[in-house]
Structure 1
Amino acid sequence: MNTLASEWLKVRSVRSTYLNLVLSLGSVLLGVAVAWTSAGMYDSAPLHRRAQAALTELEEVVVIVPQLCMGIMGALAFTSEHVTGMLRTSFTIVPRRWPVLMAKSAVVGLLGLLAGAITVFGTYFLCRLVVGDRFSGVYTTPFLERLPTLVTTSLSVPVFALLGLGAGAILRSTAGAVATLVGLAYVIPMICGNLPEPWSERLGSLMIGGLPRQITGADLTHSVYGSQLAPWAAAAVMAVYATVPILAGALLVRRRAA
């Protein structure tokens, strides 16, 4: 518990934590702004254009912001201590070392969970209020039907936070960890989307961005991602993204000099 309390104190005592949280929660305003603008354009469009107008669920778009911000926060939770040399002090106090990383994981994961839930559900409810029954009723689906997707989408944020922490522990470089996050989240999926079938569908199904909807059984055939995984398999892959980098980082911190 002392290690957990220490890591909580470290995370909340640095300015970058608050910056990443503010940017994450600010994505709600971004989603509302897009919804407001889109609703205005819809209302001013002629009837034949309204019938063709489409709008995606904005909470699934703006979640990119907290995903990346929490991933960066996770990376900084380790790399900032490594750069300043404070990590040696932590490892001196906790000689086994791995409990330090586990405590960091708990703190970072909890913050990511809160940021993801507030962002996704806040964006959904506010955009539902603004959009109403426009765009062929994209926001008129009953809340309970949307709930599984909202939950899995919000859970992707702490996964990114843990992924960033694990990458930071493995690479010991903030830039390297952030590049890894961007590559896994955005660059590699675009590459997979341009591969010939069946590899595009197979590899796209493993990308982290497509896992939340696969867990709910949604069909992503016409997206950059695939939908070949069963819900349980998609949940397992998401768990791998969150846990394997942390476990690899814990193994390395025990073997390497601080």
Structure 2
Amino acid sequence: MSVLASEWLKIRSVRSSHLTVSISLGGILLGLGLAWMAVDMYDHATPAQKPGARLAELEEVVLMVPQLCMGVLGVLATTSEYATGFIRTSLTAVPKRWPVMAGKSVVVGVIALFTGSAVIFATYFVCRALIADRFGGLYQIPFTDKLPLLTALALTVPVFALLGVGLGSILRTASGSIVVLVGAVYVVPIIVGNLPQPWSDLLGSVMIGALPHEITRDTTTNTVYGSLLPPVAAAAVLVTYALLPLLAGTWLLCRRDV
């Protein structure tokens, strides 16, 4: 518990932590703005245009905001200690080293879980209230039917955060870790999406963006990713995104000099 308390104190005492969480929650305002614009465009469309009007589910559009911000929070939670030299103090207080990574992961993961859930569910309810029965009843699907997908989307946010913690521990530099994080999660899927079949579907099915829909078997929205994995396999891949970098980072922390 003392390690958890220490890691919580470190994170909440750094200004960048408050900034990343605030920007993440700003995703709700982004969703509100997009919903307002969509409603205005729909209401000013001609009767002939309205039946064919389509809209992406906005909670998925704004999801990238908390994902990226919490990934950055995970990176900074680790690399800032190397930049300031405070990591030596931490490892002197906890000689076994691995509890430091475990405590940091728990604290960052919990922050990301609450932040991601707040953004996803608040955006959904805002859009449901504003959009109502427009766009073919996109937001008229019962909430209980959407709950599994919304939960799976929210869970990707702590995965990003833990991926950031792992990359930060492996690379030890904030700039390098953030570049790898953004490249692996946003650039690689674009490359995969332009590969010839069947590689596009095969590799696209293991991209983070595809996993929530595969876990819940949600087919109500189109996706640019593949959808070949069964729910259990998709859940296992999502966990792997978080655990593999963490385990590698923990192993390196225990093996190499500070």
The TM-score range, normalised by the shorter chain, is over 0.9
Q: Secondary structure at the match of 2:49?
A: helix
Instruction: State the match for 1:125 in structure 2.
Output: 125
Long gaps (5+) in structure 2: none
Q: Report runs of 4+ in structure 1 exceeding 4 Å deviation.
A: 219-222
Q: 2:81 aligned with 1:57, yes or no?
A: no
| 1:47 partner SS | coil
Alignment-derived partner of residue 216 in structure 2: 216
User: What is the rounded CA distance, in whole Å, between the counterparts of 1:42 and 1:222 in structure 2?
Assistant: 21
Give 1:150's aligned residue. 150
Counterpart of 1:257 in structure 2 is 257
Instruction: Show the 5 A alignment for 1:165-204.
Output: 165-204=165-204
Tell me if 1:207 matches 2:214: no
Q: 1:256 Cα deviation (Å)?
A: 1.2
Q: For structure 1, which runs of at least 5 residues remain unmatched after alignment? A: none
**Alignment coverage as a number of residue pairs:** 258
1:75 equivalenced with 2:75 (yes/no): yes
Given that 1:201 and 1:221 are in contact with CA atoms closer than 8 Å, whether structure 2 keeps it comes out as: no
Q: Summarize the Cα distance change of 1:198–1:221 in structure 2 as closer, same or farther, 3 Å threshold.
A: farther
Q: Secondary structure in 1 aligned to 2:48?
A: helix
Deviation string 1:64-113 (CA, Å, 9 cap, x unpaired) is 00000000000000000001000011001111111001000000000000
For normalisation by structure 1, the TM-score amounts to 0.98
Residue in 2 that maps onto 1:88: 88
Shift of 1:223: 2.9
1:134 aligns with 2:134: yes
Deviations 1:153-189 (A, max 9, x none): 0000000000000000001111111112111221000
Q: 2:166 aligns to what SS in structure 1?
A: helix
Alpha-carbon separation, structure 1, partners of 2:210 and 2:176: 23
How many angstroms apart in 1 are the aligned matches of 2:131 and 2:219? 24
Q: CA RMSD in A?
A: 1.1
1:110-156 Cα distance to aligned partner (Å, 9 max, x none): 00000011000000001110100000010000000000000000000
Residue aligned with 1:196, SS = coil
Letter in 1 for 2:99: P
Q: What CA distance in whole angstroms lies between the structure 1 residues aligned with 2:27 and 2:21?
A: 10
The residue identity in structure 1 corresponding to 2:181 is L
Q: CA contact under 8 A between 1:120 and 1:150: conserved in structure 2?
A: yes
